[in-house]
Amino acid sequence: MSSNGSAVGQLLWSRPLCVGWRRDQEGAVYHLATCLLLLGFMGGSGVYGCFYLFGFLGTGYLCCVLWGWFDACGLDIVLWSVLLATACVLQLAHLVYRLREDTLPEEFELLYKTLCLPLQVPLPVYKEIVRCCEEQVLTLATEQTYAVEGETPIDRLSLLLSGRVRVSQDGQFLHYVFPYQFMDSPEWESLHPSTEGVFQVTLTAETECSYISWPRKSLHLLLAKERYISRLFSALLGYDISEKLYALNDKLFAKFRLRFDIRLPSLYHVLGAAAPDAGPESQKDDKDVREPAASPSPQALPTSVQQTPPSSPPPASTNPPAPPPWVRMSRPDSSVLASRTPLQSYSQVMSRGRAPLAPTLTPEL
C-alpha cells in the first residue's frame, strides 16, 4: 500500500510546477467550444435528447479542432478533437437511420392516431400489429364485393381505412361499415380458431375503399403469443360488434317502432318490412293474444274465487286448471316464435312481460 502511495506521489510531484501563468487568454474559439460542450452535457434522454446531446458535443469538439489547429498549435489536441467530433457525427447518423426505419406510412400513422393513441397503445406494440398485416393497404373499387354470402371463406380480419361498405343478406340491406371499423368482426368472433366457415352476409363497396387485412392464422398466433394485443383486439372487436348491433336496432325501430334486445341472436332476420296484406291480420292476432291475458275466463280462476252453487259440485274436467293470471308463464319455444310474424311474436312475448325475441324467419319485402 505504501509503495502505491509513493508511486502516485512521485507521479504528481516529480513533474515541474508552473513557474508563471500566461498573461494572455485563449481566443474566442476556445471559449465557444467550452460553452457548447457544457450545453451538450446538459442534454436529456430519449431520441430527441440524444439529438440535442450529440449535436452540441459534435459542434463543441469541432470548435476544439479549430482552437488546437490555429491557437494551441497542438497535434494531440487536434487529433483527439477530430476523433470525438467524428464519433458524435456517426452517432447522429445512426439516430437519423433509426428514425427513418421507425417511420410508418401515412395510412398507418393516421390509424394509430385515430384508433390506438386514445387507448394509449405503445408504439412498439402497434408496429408489431402492423407487421402482422405485412404493412399492405388493399383497395376495393366501387361495387366490388369483399365477401359473398355463402361462398367467401372466413380466413382474415379486415379494417376499413377509407370509403363505405354496404352489408346485406338475401338482398336486404343491413347496415354500413364506415372508416376505422372492422368489416368482418361478427364472422371473426363467431368461429373458433380451429374451425372453418363462410360469410353469412355480402359486403359490397359503395365507394372506392382502402383497408388492411390480417391473415387469420398469423393473427391467431400473434394473439396467442402476446396477451396485451389479445386484450386490445378483444376490446376493439367487442366495441365494433356492439356498434353494428345498435345500428341494426335503430333500423328495427325505424321500421317497426320496436326496440329489440340486442343480446338476442338472429337480430338481422327481422329487418325486412312485413308483407302489405299482413298488417290487419297481425293487428287482429295481436288483439286476440292480448284479450285472454287481460280478461281470463272463469275456468282459469282459482277455486276459491269461482262462485259455484253449493248444491252441485263443479263438473269434472280432464284438462288441468289454468294458472292464475299473476303466475309467471314459461317462455315460449323459439321455434314457435319463428313460425309467426315479428309483430305476433312481439305481442305474445310482451303480453307476458318479457323482452322480445328476434325470430329466425326473415319477412319478405
> Which segments within the chain are labelled E, that is strand?
138-140, 145-147, 156-162, 165-169, 172-177, 202-205, 209-215
d(CA 292, CA 308): 22
The torsion angles phi and psi of 172, rounded to 5 degrees, stand at -100, 130
Longest dimension (CA), the chain: 144
d(CA 164, CA 175): 11
Name the residue type at position 254.
A
Q: Which residues of 53-85 are buried (b: 16+ CB within 10 A; e: fewer)?
A: bbbbbbbbbbbbbbbbbeebeeeebbeebbebb
* Residues sharing a CB contact under 8 Å with residue 262, sequence separation 6 or more, in sequence order: 242, 245, 246, 248, 249
Considering only 142-151, 216-225, 292-301, which range has the smallest mean pLDDT? 292-301
d(CA 51, CA 63): 18
Work out the angle at residue 293's Cα, subtended by the Cα atoms of residues 288 and 295, and round it to the nearest 5 degrees. 95
| Residue 173 β-bridge partners | 168
Task: Give the mean model confidence (pLDDT) for residues 223-242.
Answer: 92
pLDDT digits (tens, 9 = 90+) for 90-129: 999 999 888 877 778 888 989 999 999 999 999 889 999 9
Highest mean pLDDT among 10-14, 298-302, 318-322: 10-14
* Residues sharing a CB contact under 8 Å with residue 340, sequence separation 6 or more, in sequence order: 285, 348, 359
Cell of 309: 252453487
Instruction: Give residue 194's pLDDT.
Output: 81
Q: How confident is the model at residue 307 (pLDDT cuts 50, 70, 90)?
A: very low
CB 210 within 8 A of CB 162: yes
Cell of 264: 338476442
The mean pLDDT value of the chain amounts to 74
Considering only 69-78, 157-166, 242-251, which range has the smallest mean pLDDT? 242-251
Give the position of cell 397503445.
121
What is this structure's pTM?
Answer: 0.53
Instruction: Give residue 255's pLDDT.
Output: 62
Q: Which of 212, 230, 232 is nearest to 119 (CA)?
A: 232
3-class secondary-structure state, position 347 = helix
Q: Is the pLDDT of residue 278 over 90?
A: no
d(CA 270, CA 268): 6
Q: Is the pLDDT of residue 347 over 50?
A: no
Q: How confident is the model at residue 14 (pLDDT cuts 50, 70, 90)?
A: low
Q: How confident is the model at residue 258 (pLDDT cuts 50, 70, 90)?
A: low
d(CA 106, CA 164): 20
Task: Give the mean model confidence (pLDDT) for residues 264-278.
Answer: 44
Name the residue type at position 216.
R
